[in-house]
Amino acid sequence: MQKRITKLIAVAAMSLSVLTELALAGPLLEATKNGKPIRLGYMIAQPTSFTSQSGEPDGMINVFAINVLKKMGHSDVEGAVMDWGGLIPALQANRIDIISAGMYITKERCSSVQFSDPMLVLPDVLIVPKGNPKKLYNYQDVAMTGAVLAEPAGYAPIETAKRYGVSVENIMILPGNTQVLAALRSGRADAYATSLIEAEGLLKSSNETSMEITDPSKMPEDTKNWLALAFRKNDSDFVKAFNEAQKAYIADPKMMPDLAPYGHSKDMVPGTKTASALCQ
């Protein structure tokens, strides 16, 4: 009788443990357990995120995310392309599972998504007309000259520009990179602030020869940007496992050869910064 009671208690404890695990599991972990693919959401922005000719997610950040997910045992991955401003709403509406578009960790975004620990650190630069006629090298120059800054909706440099004194009236908000370049070409805007790697990729992919990139060393030190993958707030369990796998991938000698074709360099390795510290 005693043995039977002990066995029943053990079975009940095991059942409770399984139920507790299921209750605590976030939607992404549950989806992968049920055999569903992981959906990456991104904007077309070479070389960080784009779609290959075969229709697969490609670019530095997509390749990074896919290789980290493989270390976790997840190989079924799909991509969804959308405008920058639609990424967080799509994540919150469960239309995608991870934002893999080179999103900067900012306090404002930390209230809407849960970031992985940083995967990259990048400086900001300005894209300006060839010859830099207004002599714009940083946000302070834009503010002092009253120049017009063009930015895709939701881009972090918008808030950085405001912090350095650029008036709201002089920030032109547009849907994406195509519209920003058009504004620069037409003279409706004077500069576009973005990361160095995105600026290089954008001018190369668009065969743009009428513009140039400013020297990143002219930007203030505190405008360095920490890039990460973004997840839903209730996917903490998955993010914790992702961070562990990401550490292993960053330490893996294979990472640099994997990402070098997209412009990755050792200067972009993020060090020991954590998302929780950057969200404070």
- Output the domain CATH number for residue 73: 3.40.190.10
Q: Are residues 218 and 263 in the same domain?
A: no
Tell me the whole-structure pTM to 2 decimals. Answer: 0.73
| 5 within domain boundaries | no
| 137 within domain boundaries | yes
> Within a 10 A sphere around the Cβ of 48, how many other Cβ atoms?
29
Domain that holds residue 231: 10-121+227-278
- Collapsing DSSP states into helix, strand and coil, what is residue 211? strand
| 1 within domain boundaries | no
Q: Is the bond leading into 157 cis (omega within 30 degrees of zero)?
A: no
Q: Distance between CA atoms of 209 and 250, rounded to whole angstroms?
A: 35
Q: Are residues 31 and 68 in the same domain?
A: yes
| 258 within domain boundaries | yes
Q: Are residues 242 and 106 in the same domain?
A: yes
Q: Are residues 111 and 248 in the same domain?
A: yes
Q: Are residues 17 and 142 in the same domain?
A: no
How many separate domains does the chain show? 2
Q: Are residues 91 and 171 in the same domain?
A: no
| 150 within domain boundaries | yes
Q: Distance between CA atoms of 269 and 254, rounded to whole angstroms?
A: 14
pLDDT tens per residue across all 280 residues of the chain = 554 544 444 444 434 333 334 444 589 999 999 999 999 999 998 899 999 999 999 999 999 999 999 999 999 999 999 999 999 999 999 999 999 998 999 999 999 999 999 999 988 999 999 999 999 999 999 999 999 999 999 899 999 999 999 999 999 999 999 999 999 999 999 999 999 988 998 999 999 999 999 999 999 888 888 999 999 999 999 999 999 999 999 999 999 999 999 989 888 899 899 999 999 9
